[in-house]
Chains A and B, each alone.
Chain A
Amino acid sequence: MELINGYPASMRESIALVERTRPARLGRTFPAMSLDERKALLLAHHPDYQAHAKRPLRFGPSKGMLLNHELADLFEARPLVRPDLDVSTIDADVDLLVIGGGGAGTVAAIWAVQSGLDPARVLIATKLRHGDSNSTMAQGGIQAADRPEDSPVQHFLDVMGGGHFTNRPDLVRALVSDAPLIIQWHERLGVMYDKDSQGRFVENPGGGTSRNRMHSARDYTGLEIMRVLRDEARNLGIRVIEFSPAIELLCDDWGHVAGAVLLNLETRRYHIVRAAATVLTTGGLGRVHIQRFPTTNHYGATGDGLVLAYRVGAELVDLDAVQYHPTGAAFPAQMAGLLITEKVRGLGAQPLNRLGEQFVFPLEPRDVEAAAFIRECGERGLGIPTPHGICGVWLDAPMVDLLHGPGTIRAALPAMYRMYMRFGIDMTRDPILVFPTLHYQNGGVAADEHGATRVPGLFVAGEVMGGIHGKNRLMGNSLLDFNVFGRRAGIAAAHYARTHRPGRLSLAHVAEYERMLREAGIETTRTAPRILPDYRGKEALERYLDVPV
């Protein structure tokens, strides 16, 4: 395939149209939709609203909830351990077990120690390396209403509207009122947010926000927050065990959560951790590839925590809605699905169709924006086809430098710029092609404003927790959410751990879950949690022999 500065000739023709319309578009933005218009668009074009894609959950406390098939498959699957697994030998006996070493988990562990737990009795168990997580990948920013023009009340309205008013208001109140406290905590930890010489934050708008309140650290916001948190946890002496996912929770005689079974991914040896309190922070589910969408998520985002929590009797909320980010990379093929941060639109880049025309307000809430892209490529047939068979719309990146001055892209979006340059595309000169990609799970395990689930001893925080964002999360509220609820869950779990002693460990809930599967008439060889996705090549697998060696 012949490429001209990264693009084939067929796509260059459309780029020429984009360039032609650019001067006229500079001062003119497509108008935003009304609530009714948004609704109609969502119903017709958003993947979440396509009825055939889902089925009801057939058993358990959230029976009846409509789930995408890929997600329902996770629940309708056999546990990885048998109920009679020997759990009598305890490998680690701790006050607090944190499952998942991403953002929420690390924050929870730090705050549990700040609330008085001995760091040597706090254990983070994680699937890959400490910090290999969605948190590290977040680019755009984190919201907090800290400017005089803004207020937590305004933030509250934005969050509720963004979630189509399905959010749980008490959780939203916690989110918006803790936000400035979190940013101040980060300031003190030395997180290098973008600031001016007076120490004022650079704050940008994001999709669905009515004020500029997105704090960022170039476009490595999540990386910067995560590496500082990890460093703080390490310096506090918190124990971390890597490459050891939890494959099942443990309960005690009263059915209270009391630790987990971990699996050493390299030796396949299992470890029993007994804990007075357990915080589940396993993040999202992008790697389950709902409706076969590509994803922005990291390799370990397989929704494990949802299954683990459901097996001990926790409730689910809003899991029927998953989030597709409107701007996943659609070209080149090697980048397919990777996130193009919303900040590119926040800085003024407009989405355009094949003819170089605007067709949607650039900063609608994510689900609305994504549905508009799908409509443009599908029903309207105005998308830009790529040689590898998928279609996308343009994001007119060069506008950023035109609006804010030359050098803005390289300074404010270095990760984006670098990623495209690696594949021969200069986004300061050419538009980039995007299409929706699976991004965020929106709902999750139900919990109160301290992260406590209805199962004693089990706390949740971060992406695995549901209810905060309702059916749709706005950009910058999940970096915020893992900090706010990670902190709250860490404090609440520390308190719980001081006042509760776990009893004898048991896997009775596994037997109970198997019984529910049987009674619901579900016969399957599928297992869950999934742990890691499988991307091995077809040719290689055709001759795969599963023999002991």
Chain B
Amino acid sequence: MSEPATLVTMELMGKEYRVPSGLTILAAMEYAGYKLVRGVGCRGGFCGACPTLYRREGSHRIFTALACQTLVEDGMCLVQIPFVPAPTKPYDLHSITPQSTTLLRFFPEIAGCVACNTCTRSCPQGLPVMDYIQAALRGDIERVAMLSFDCIACGICSSRCPADIKHYAVGLLARRLYGKYLVPPSADLALRVGEIEAGRYDAELRELMELPLADLRARYEQRTFEPAADQNGEYSATRRYNSPMDPVDYQDELEGV
């Protein structure tokens, strides 16, 4: 930083440190001298390895965050939770028939949800967690899949839930069921796999492999381009994303971050 950073005072694992403002919690811990082993993974908000609990000065609440995605604040008092155990009974996805009771059968504890909304309030991804648990209870697999899609399995919701629900495991099973059974398989893909297995491209590929470099380069330079998908094209992002099974349909529920 070229501008001199101001220092904030915060409590890491119960000890006070002064660290530059503008750092993420993760960077602040390192600045203070921690060489992290637990509680860090992607450093970019994708893996859920860095769940953090903290309190702010003058508030009685416990706040939750991802250490790699949250800036330090003066007076913050925090602890990292390395992970939240959520062992699940093994299942064989390939022999399950998805029904309205399937999620309840594998995760009977969801029936104990008291609708306190703590999970939703604590989710660092801003997901409507309670809503997807309620949807699971109703047996609406598609809805669980859509609402839980952005879950990074940090486990914060599960650590806070009075009903001991393993939210992210519920979401994962729902998404796998949805992806496997409720979305039709691609016909184009099946056709192509058949062609490949029948050796349809073997000769052409071998020919390319044996081509002298200059000829291969020429083939490359002469290759035609498909126009990028645009709003009128068959593969328009908008049209796809507004399909009946699409996240946009749930946009109003995916409230702002």
* Residues of A in contact with B (beta carbons under 8 Å apart): 1, 35, 128-129, 131-132, 136-137, 144-154, 156-158, 160-161, 165, 169-170, 173, 176-177, 180-181, 183-184, 187-205, 210-212, 217-218, 220, 222-224, 227-228, 231-232, 234-235, 237, 243, 265-266, 296, 298-300, 333-334, 338-339, 346-348, 387-389, 403-405, 407-408, 410-412, 414-415, 417-419, 421-422, 532, 534-537, 539-541, 544
Contacts of A203 in B (CB 8 A): 229, 235
CB closest residue in chain A, given B226: A211
User: CB < 8 Å: which of B125, B153, B224 contacts A227?
Assistant: B153
Taking a contact as CB atoms under 8 Å apart, the answer to whether A194 and B240 are in contact is yes
A408 and B237 in contact, given A223-B46, A537-B33 (Cβ under 8 angstroms)? yes
- Complex CA gap A187/B217 in Å reads 35
- Complex CA gap A183/B193 in Å reads 10
Taking a contact as CB atoms under 8 Å apart, the answer to whether B90 and A234 are in contact is yes
A131 and B196 in contact, given A157-B220, A231-B172 (Cβ under 8 angstroms)? no
Say whether B216 faces chain A, with CB atoms less than 8 Å apart: yes
A411 and B248 in contact, given A419-B69, A534-B35 (Cβ under 8 angstroms)? yes
Contacts of A211 in B (CB 8 A): 226
A146 and B47 in contact, given A132-B41, A196-B240 (Cβ under 8 angstroms)? no
User: CB < 8 Å: which of B70, B125, B247 contacts A411?
Assistant: B247
B181 CB to nearest chain A CB (Å): 8
CB-contacts of B1-31 with A (<8 A): 1-3, 22-24, 27, 30-31
A170 and B209 in contact, given A35-B217, A157-B220, A412-B241 (Cβ under 8 angstroms)? yes
- Complex CA gap A536/B42 in Å reads 17
Contacts of B37 in A (CB 8 A): 243, 265-266, 532
A-B contact pairs, 20 of them (CB 8 A): A136-B47, A144-B189, A146-B189, A151-B201, A153-B204, A156-B208, A161-B220, A187-B185, A189-B176, A190-B93, A194-B240, A195-B183, A195-B240, A201-B188, A212-B228, A298-B44, A387-B2, A404-B238, A537-B30, A539-B31
Taking a contact as CB atoms under 8 Å apart, the answer to whether A184 and B190 are in contact is yes
Contacts of A347 in B (CB 8 A): 237
Say whether B40 faces chain A, with CB atoms less than 8 Å apart: yes
User: CB < 8 Å: which of B23, B44, B196, B248 contacts A137?
Assistant: B44
A371 CB to nearest chain B CB (Å): 19
Interface size class of B (residues with CB under 8 A): 35 or more
Please encode chain B, from 198 to 222, with 1 for each CB lying within 8 Å of some chain A CB and 0 for all others. Answer: 0001001100110001001101110
Contacts of A234 in B (CB 8 A): 90
A415 and B220 in contact, given A407-B248, A534-B35, A536-B30 (Cβ under 8 angstroms)? no
CB closest residue in chain A, given B199: A177
- Complex CA gap A412/B248 in Å reads 9
Taking a contact as CB atoms under 8 Å apart, the answer to whether B41 and A128 are in contact is yes
Taking a contact as CB atoms under 8 Å apart, the answer to whether B257 and A421 are in contact is yes
A334 and B23 in contact, given A227-B172, A418-B257 (Cβ under 8 angstroms)? yes
- Complex CA gap A35/B172 in Å reads 45
Contacts of A243 in B (CB 8 A): 37-38
Taking a contact as CB atoms under 8 Å apart, the answer to whether A237 and B188 are in contact is no
Say whether B43 faces chain A, with CB atoms less than 8 Å apart: yes
User: CB < 8 Å: which of A177, A196, A228 contacts B239?
Assistant: A196
A205 and B226 in contact, given A169-B209, A173-B209, A177-B205 (Cβ under 8 angstroms)? yes
A187 and B186 in contact, given A137-B47, A197-B245, A387-B2 (Cβ under 8 angstroms)? yes
Taking a contact as CB atoms under 8 Å apart, the answer to whether A218 and B150 are in contact is yes
- Complex CA gap A65/B44 in Å reads 33
Contacts of A534 in B (CB 8 A): 35
Taking a contact as CB atoms under 8 Å apart, the answer to whether B240 and A202 are in contact is yes
A136 and B46 in contact, given A165-B216, A189-B176, A198-B184 (Cβ under 8 angstroms)? yes
